Chains A and B, each alone.
Chain A
Amino acid sequence: MKYTTPTALTATLLAALLASAPAMANEYVQAEGSTLAFASRYDSELFTGRFEEFNTRLRFNPADPGSGRLEVLIGLTSAVTGNAERDSTLRTAEFFDIGRHAQARYTANGFRKVADDQYVADGTLELRGVSKPVSLTFTWNTDGERPVLSGRAVVQRLDFGVGAGDWADTALIPNAVNISTRVVFERP
């Protein structure tokens, strides 16, 4: 090609790099050491659990939170609460109904900045075949070796039919389930 001078080639490469860089720079995938936990009560006795299998993908630029995107896939069979009987009860049709819905999914498009390093994702949780809005409040910490998202959310379990039948009594199990997560990110 007659236009291919060293200068022109450098300019073309530079333009290509610049075009792709912003998108690439804001894409993250979940790294080792991430946790997704939940806490509830049974007959006022506190218990906590965690999902051992979940996967998070994030697009986030603190300078432009509105362009952020979060997607979390949660393996419901991986829920452990430190008691085998409770864990197996969680898998039944009355709770997670893993025979029909083995995964839950949380997606959010666009975040709101509410304070320094603090954001809210007004996302949607798909759980047990039901989709409802759930807001995740999170902080974004880049002080360490890897960026860390620390978030909290409250899920109204009965909105999704989690704990139906005899378990629907909120005096026994409160409707609000507290979710907390700490996701360590790396570049894809």
Chain B
Amino acid sequence: MSPRNIERWGGISQLLHWTIAVLILLIGVVGLVMGELPRSSRWFWVYTAHKSLGLTVLALVLVRIGWRLYAGAPPPVPGTPRWQARLASAVHVVLYGMVLAMPLSGWLYDSASGLRPLRWFGQLEVPKLVGPDTALADAARGAHEWLFWLLVLLVLVHAGAALYHHFVRHDATLARMLPRRLGTPPPREDVP
């Protein structure tokens, strides 16, 4: 079986998609909670974890974009209205952009804050994008927060559309992003 994306999403695309999805969920929850932690060096590992996971997503999404350019994407399932296919493609492009912009704005915020060195999971020294800069740090923080809520919105649209395809239209749009044994859409009740 070709790992390329002909009729279904191949294993590599699926692995990247779901790994990134789970990481984003985790990072989002940690990001929302960590601001409430007491400001003490004892809790800084939580921030380091958030940043390290975010940089991991940045690397994974670069791999994913590269893989998508090589392996392609399956065409819309037959019967999808053209405007829906176009909207879906537009949402996908924006999602890729957002998943790049989130870690980049966070990295910029971290660099411009100049509070402490960033080591990926405490191991690898991550270079600073810029020197300490209060105005830039504030701007990057603002962007990071706004992009997050925009990402939440887009993910809801994206996931909502997938569920609509699966449970309302009973087509393979979601199923082809799932392993075969999980991805059988429920049978249509109006079809004997």
Contact = CB atoms under 8 A, between A and B. Distances in A.
A and B interact? yes
Interface residues of A, number: 17
Interface stretch (A22-30, A43-51, A176-184): A43-51
A83 B42 contact: no
Interface of A: 42-45, 47, 82-86, 89, 92, 165-167, 169, 172
A43 B137 contact: no
Given A89-B39, A166-B41, A82 B116 contact: no
25 contacts: A42-B116, A43-B116, A43-B117, A44-B117, A45-B114, A45-B115, A45-B116, A45-B117, A47-B114, A47-B115, A47-B132, A82-B132, A82-B134, A83-B132, A83-B134, A85-B113, A85-B115, A86-B115, A89-B39, A92-B39, A166-B40, A167-B40, A167-B41, A169-B41, A172-B41
A27 to B, nearest CB: 38
Interface range on chain B: under 10, 10 to 19, 20 to 34, or 35 or more? 10 to 19
A47 B117 CA distance: 11
Nearest to A163: B41
Interface of B: 39-42, 113-117, 132, 134, 137
B146 to A, nearest CB: 19
A83 B41 contact: no
Contacts of B41: 166-167, 169, 172
A47 B115 CA distance: 8
A33 B36 CA distance: 40
A89 B39 CA distance: 8
